[in-house]
Amino acid sequence: MSSWAVLLPMSLAILASLGVALWSMVEVRRLRRRVLLQEGALLSLRGALSAVCSAEVATDQRQLDVDRRLRQLSAQQEQLLLRDPELGPYHHAMRLAVKGSSPEELMETCGLTRGEADLLLSLHRSRDTTEG
């Protein structure tokens, strides 16, 4: 066998190996660029998520503040209605009765006696049955 017959297959194998190595290097570079792009996108998404979470916390806090203020204003309005001599506690008690308050709540909130609270609730119930 001649030396060409031995060298030719070996040369072809070396060339094929070099081709595979070159292709692998190109593919590794392409994949590295892709990984870098993905890492950049991931960092961007983390920043956006952090901003959304911060905004949600701030929104929740504002909602709690609004709810607290609404309760304060409602309590102040109730107090003002109780002080109005024309409306008085009976008008306030009637509004509470319409909302479905218990006799105990009417007694405690409006200073009514048990009989007054029961009478008011009974008048409210009889009005509901005649209107309904």
Q: Which domain holds residue 59?
A: 1-66
Helix axes 103-110, 88-98, angle to 10 degrees: 150
The answer to whether position 4 is within a domain reads yes
Q: Give residue-wise pLDDT tens across range 6-51.
A: 788 888 999 999 999 999 999 999 999 999 999 999 999 999 999 9
The string of DSSP letters for 19-78 reads: HHHHHHHHHHHHHHHHHHHHHHHHHHHHHHHHHHHHHHHHHHHHHHHHHHHHHHHHHHHH
Question: What pLDDT band is residue 4 in, cutting at 50, 70 and 90?
Answer: confident
| Residues 58 and 98 both lie in one domain | no
Contact 78, 67 (CB under 8 A): no
Average pLDDT over residues 95-104: 89
| Residues 5 and 59 both lie in one domain | yes
The answer to whether position 131 is within a domain reads yes
Residue of 127, 90, 95 lying closest to 112 (CA atoms): 90
In the predicted structure, residue 120 carries a pLDDT above the cut 60: yes
The answer to whether position 73 is within a domain reads no
| Residues 58 and 95 both lie in one domain | no
Record the tokens describing residue 69, joined without a space: 């203020």
Q: Give residue-wise pLDDT tens across range 41-82.
A: 999 999 999 999 999 999 999 999 999 999 999 888 877 766
| Residues 61 and 9 both lie in one domain | yes
Instruction: Name the residue with tokens 């920043």.
Output: 47
Domain count, the chain: 2
In the predicted structure, residue 85 carries a pLDDT above the cut 60: no
| Residues 58 and 91 both lie in one domain | no
The answer to whether position 75 is within a domain reads no
Report the distance separating Cα 90 and Cα 116, nearest Å.
Answer: 9
| Residues 62 and 88 both lie in one domain | no
Amino acid at 89: P
The answer to whether position 101 is within a domain reads yes
Tell which of 66, 101, 119 closes a domain: 66
Contact 117, 106 (CB under 8 A): yes
DSSP run (H or E) holding 86:
none
| Residues 61 and 88 both lie in one domain | no
Record the tokens describing residue 62, joined without a space: 């504002």
| Residues 51 and 103 both lie in one domain | no
pLDDT of residue 83: 66
| Residues 1 and 59 both lie in one domain | yes
